[in-house]
Amino acid sequence: MAIMVRSTIGLPPWDVLHDGLTQRLGLSFGQVIALTGGAVLLAWIPLKQRLGIGTVANVVVIALGVDVALAVLPTPENLPVQVAFLVSGVVLNGLATAVYVGARLGAGPRDGLMTGLAARTGWSVRLVRSGIELTVLAIGWLLGGTFGAGTVFYALAIGPLTQFFLPMSTVRAEQEQPRTSAVDPQV
């Protein structure tokens, strides 16, 4: 995520929201990420999403990791490096999302919203994720968050990338053998 921020071509939509909230609340970027993640968890209640170790790890690790990475990552000076930062960040974000959602240890708050809405509506991950990103982008922009061409690229690419990587990253649950009889000696 931090590599996309440093590209300076435009923040991802959730980070446009985080940036707008940072400006309004006077908190660090990482603190706002953690608080937003907690607030999004409330949307899980009607979607019947379950928390897992991955949910907690997502909030804590990303919040701390972004603050640390922003402190050490340089801001590229030329457009080709900025574009490389942006594209690699978006692709890595799509892959990382698919890997931890596919691990079935609990999605992060924002991704649980995505999987919950996809399950509830029957729409594809690609469509749900794109809709969420565009909605969050609009709210973040209204709060004064930084917006650029990279923001639009992210909003349009992250859903299809996540959907592409998800099948190859999902841990398959072991199939349970159905009981054939209540007195089956092998059960």
Whether 85 maps to a domain, the answer reads yes
Percent of the chain, pLDDT > 90?
56
pLDDT at 176: 40
pLDDT at res. 106: 87
Place of tokens 């980070």: 15
Tens-digit pLDDT profile for residues 34-70: 899 889 999 999 998 988 998 888 778 877 888 899 9
Span 1-20, average pLDDT: 89
Neighbours of 174 (CB within 10 A): 6
Q: Which two tokens stand for residue 92?
A: 């890595």
| Residue 71 belongs to a domain | yes
How many structural domains compose the chain? 1
Question: According to the model, what pLDDT value does residue 174 have?
Answer: 63
Domain membership of residue 25 (yes or no) is yes
DSSP 40-106: HHTTHHHHT----HHHHHHHHHHHHHHHHHHHHPPPPSSHHHHHHHHHHHHHHHHHHHHHHHHTTS-
Tell me the per-residue pLDDT of 93-121, one tens digit each, with 9 for 90 and over.
999 889 988 988 888 888 899 999 999 99
Q: What is the DSSP string of 92-128?
A: HHHHHHHHHHHTTS---HHHHHHHHHHHHH---HHHH
Interatomic CA distance for residues 144 and 164, integer angstroms: 32
Asked whether 85 and 3 are in contact (CB, 8 A), the reply is yes
Position 119 in a domain: yes
Residue 175 included in any domain? no
Domain that holds residue 147: 2-169
Q: In the prediction, which pLDDT does 24 show?
A: 95
Q: Is residue 75 part of a domain?
A: yes
Global pTM reads 0.79
Q: What is the pLDDT of residue 187?
A: 35
Q: Residues 133-145: pLDDT tens digits?
A: 999 999 999 999 9
Min mean pLDDT across 6-10, 128-132, 165-169, 174-178 is at 174-178
Does residue 86 sit within a domain? yes
